Every structure is written in C-alpha cells, then in structure tokens.
Amino acid sequence: MKSNFTYKSYLFPIVVVVLAITSVNIISENYPINVFKLRWIDYYMIILFITAFVWLIKYEIARKMIVIEINENFIIKKNFLFNIQKYNFNDMVETETKVDTMRFGNFEETIITFNDGSKVILSEFFITNYKELKVGITKIIKNLHQSV
C-alpha cells in the first residue's frame, strides 16, 4: 500500500518556491546592498522571510509531505527531500491520532512513534488515501498483537 499526495499538499512547496524567487528578485534588483543603510523594517522582513522559509521546509514539507509504503513488517518513509527511512512494525512504541485545525478545515493526523524516538506523521491534508493507510496500519498492528 502506498500513499498519494493531495492537490492541497502542493500549496506549501509552491509557497517556498514563490518566497525563494521573490527573495532572489529583491536581492538582485538591489545589489550591491549597503547593510548600514537598511531600515528596521528591512531587517524585520529579512528575518520574517528566513523564518517562514525554514519553517515551511523543515516542519511542513520534510515532516508531513511524505510518501509512505506499507509492507507486512515495514513502513518505508520517503520525504519530499528524497530521504528514505525504513521502520519495523515490531519497533513501534505507540500511535496517536489528533485533529489538526487549519483555515482549510480540520484534518486528522496519525503519529507513529518508534523505539529510537523517530516519528512518522501521516496527515489527511497531505495524503489522499489517508483512511486506507490508517486501516492498513491498524490491521497490521492487530495482527502483531495477536501473534504475541
């Protein structure tokens, strides 16, 4: 079983690309920049752009925009930045389901925690077949508990 991205999930990468293009445009038009002649609002906007850029990449795209493949014993997680990790269901510590509230609506998230402290976050906002994946994971967990 493999996850599929929703159309809404491409919103965050588009925002990152727009931020990057806008930043490069502003810098190229004002190059060379005299740092000592900038106003306080310029420094504030630089900090705001960098914070938004890092937050979007690190916390939204890299953690939640992932492709999940589920086998009978393993979860294979591939994030948007091509980082591949493989987790064994026997190493799973807990699963937690919570509701994430956004302007787009309420979306369910399932957080799977493993022995080494790593987490896999499945988000209904980013994954089209979220319910199918959740049912598949639940069945595998039940089978593991019955065999023990």
Q: From first to last of the 148 residues of the chain, give the pLDDT tens digit.
A: 788 777 777 887 888 888 888 888 887 887 787 777 778 887 888 888 888 888 888 877 777 778 888 887 888 888 777 788 898 888 888 889 999 887 778 889 889 899 988 888 888 888 889 899 888 888 887 877 676 5
What is this structure's pTM?
0.69
Q: Kind and range of the H or E element at 147?
A: helix 130-147
Contacts of 123 (CB under 8 A, 6+ apart): 64, 100, 107, 108, 109, 130
Domain range annotation of the chain: 8-147
Would you state the pLDDT for residue 147?
Answer: 65
8-147, which class in CATH? mainly beta
Ramachandran category for residue 105: left, alpha or beta (phi over 0 → left; psi -120 to 50 → alpha): left
Q: Are 42 and 35 in contact (CB under 8 A)?
A: no
Would you state the pLDDT for residue 98?
Answer: 92
Query: Which residue in the block uniquely carries the two structure tokens 């906007």?
Result: 45
